[in-house]
Amino acid sequence: MIILGIETSCDETAVALIASENGTDIAVLADKTLTQIELHAQYGGVFPNMAKREHAKNLVPLLKEILKETGFLKLKVKSEELKVEEDVQTMLAREPEMLDAFLKFIPTIEKPTIDAIAVTEGPGLEPCLWTGINFAKALSLVWNIPVIPVNHMEGHIFSALLSRKNEISNSPNYLISNKNPKSEIQISNGEAISYQLSAISYPSLSLLISGGHTELVLIKSEGEYEIVGQTRDDAVGEAFDKVARLLGLPYPGGPPLSALAERARTNADSTQTDAEKIRLPRPMIHSNDFDFSFSGIKTSVLYLTKKLPALTDNIKREISLEFENAVTEVLLAKTKAAAERYGARTLILGGGVVANAHIRREFEKMAVELNVPLHIPEKTLTTDNAPMIAAAGIARAGKAGSFETESLRAKGNLRLGAKLTNTLL
Ligand code: KG4
Ligand code: ZN
């Protein structure tokens, strides 16, 4: 089965082609992401309508690239008008930046051997989600293939379960399943990365930390989710971004802030004169539930920066270090408490903040302590990406018989499951 994955929930336009015969061995045949970080950096955050326009401009060229790269692009001998052109016009009426490119390109190519399209339906920025969904719907209509709606957060969970089997292979032929020679898929000049979907024991506990979300999700069995904890205000990534801004660091703030923290952490010569005074709160660390709150730390940093006579490089490094420590300690404490409370047999980390080296290391230590396996996405799969959406789509396709494309809509506040009110007790 070949799946086209599409992700447009925030500021990354991502498309990927993945192949899997059994739902477990997964080959990423092509994977392209265009990030809009630089565009939004000047405003210090993502502008939904600007992001939407970018997605609309990017999707057709990105599709063309991945089809070309995988040898799936076959030009028609004679280009003919789309039979469903009017319907496509209606579907893409709100995507003027895409419509023209779509109508110029799609009618010129043979239907590729793609079996289904997996697209993010939510959560995320609704205008952005709509662009991906409308694109998926239009392709589905022209090629007569189903669209599988995917929850973005479930995608992040799958990103952690994709464990790499090989380094990039440059072989022109890629064998999808060596058990069944007939499943060989020919890819001219293709580069494929093959993954194995890790099998996990249930219940499993997943901590999802990104710019928009901070959630502790209990996975009771395959596809059965319950939210046991979440942030009451800022998401972890958002807190990193806001504190970084207070320190005069560029957007998104996570990477530069964690680089400063890492330098302070490894800098044995650090004099710590001013820095010794720096102490930030660990909000809700002892609360009787699994919820989080990060806006207080940001406010503390704000007061601190106002109080300090100067934001020297040394102080910036020490604030970064203390901030990263405070956030990590809260994440660890809550995850540990929830893992013990629910008897988690696997731990999963997902989301952009998982790129953070300190957080990765500390969770690795905790997993050893708890004696449970920990699944962390490889670095390239921490940020929003399309392979994770396609992989989650394969799992959904295996469960549900068919999908209703007509009623598919963007769901900005889509949740993975009900929020449990259970506490530590
Ligand atoms: O998952 P993601 O790419 O997009 C959302 O769905 O939000 O996450 C982006 C967030 C940003 O807030 C960014 O600052 C943060 O992840 N981030 C980091 C690091 N790399 C990215 N936060 C802390 N440490 C990092 N190394
Ligand atoms: Zn995300």
For residue 384 and ligand 1, the question of a CB distance below 6 A is answered with: yes
Query: Hey, what amino acid is at 60?
Result: V
For residue 261 and ligand 1, the question of a CB distance below 6 A is answered with: no
Structure tokens at 411: 């769901």
Task: For residues 73 and 106, state if they share a domain.
Answer: yes
For residue 241 and ligand 1, the question of a CB distance below 6 A is answered with: yes
Task: For residues 187 and 212, state if they share a domain.
Answer: no
Model confidence band, residue 421 (pLDDT cutoffs 50, 70, 90): low
pLDDT in tens, 327-377: 999 999 999 999 999 999 999 999 999 999 999 999 999 999 999 999 999
Tell whether 293 is covered by a domain: yes
Q: Which residue is associated with the tokens 């993954």?
A: 195
Ligand nearest to the CA of 120: 2
Q: Which residues of 282-321 are buried (b: 16+ CB within 10 A; e: fewer)?
A: bbbeebebbbbbbebbbebbeebbeeeeeeeebbbbbbbb
Ligand 2 centroid from CA 352, angstroms: 6
CATH of the domain at 117: 3.30.420.40
For residue 236 and ligand 1, the question of a CB distance below 6 A is answered with: no
Task: For residues 218 and 255, state if they share a domain.
Answer: yes
Least confident of 42-56, 117-131, 150-164: 42-56
Task: For residues 193 and 213, state if they share a domain.
Answer: no
Tell whether 181 is covered by a domain: yes
Domain containing 7: what range? 2-199+384-397
Quote the pLDDT of residue 47. 86
Q: Which residue is associated with the tokens 């045949």?
A: 29
What are the two backbone dihedrals, phi and then psi, of residue 226, each rounded to the nearest 5 degrees? -140, 135
For residue 388 and ligand 1, the question of a CB distance below 6 A is answered with: no
Task: For residues 115 and 211, state if they share a domain.
Answer: no
For the chain, what is the domain count? Answer: 2
Which of 379, 383, 388, 416 for a ligand 1 pocket mutation test, highest count of atoms within 8 Å of Cβ? 383
Task: For residues 363 and 390, state if they share a domain.
Answer: no
- Determine the average pLDDT of the residues in 203-217: 97
Q: Are 313 and 260 in contact (CB under 8 A)?
A: no
For residue 210 and ligand 1, the question of a CB distance below 6 A is answered with: yes
Ligand 2 centroid from CA 377, angstroms: 12
Beta bridge partners of 195: 26, 164
Query: Hey, what amino acid is at 91?
Result: M
- Quick one: DSSP state of residue 257? H
Quote the pLDDT of residue 419. 75
Ligand 2 centroid from CA 382, angstroms: 8
Task: For residues 138 and 257, state if they share a domain.
Answer: no
Count CB atoms within 10 A of the CB of residue 64: 16
Ligand nearest to the CA of 156: 2
Q: Which residue has the higher pLDDT, 188 or 65?
A: 65
Task: For residues 24 and 113, state if they share a domain.
Answer: yes
Task: For residues 77 and 162, state if they share a domain.
Answer: yes
Structure tokens at 332: 């660890």
- Determine the average pLDDT of the residues in 20-29: 94
Task: For residues 53 and 154, state if they share a domain.
Answer: yes
Does the pLDDT at position 45 exceed 80? no
The rounded radius of gyration (Å) of the Cα atoms in the chain is 23
pLDDT in tens, 301-318: 999 999 988 999 999 999
- Quick one: DSSP state of residue 355? G
Quote the pLDDT of residue 269. 54
pLDDT in tens, 237-246: 999 999 999 9
Task: For residues 135 and 66, state if they share a domain.
Answer: yes
Structure tokens at 138: 């239009």
Q: Which residue is associated with the tokens 């710019």?
A: 211
Tell whether 424 is covered by a domain: no
Task: For residues 142 and 58, state if they share a domain.
Answer: yes
Cis preceding-peptide flag for 146 (omega within 30 of 0) = no
Tell whether 119 is covered by a domain: yes
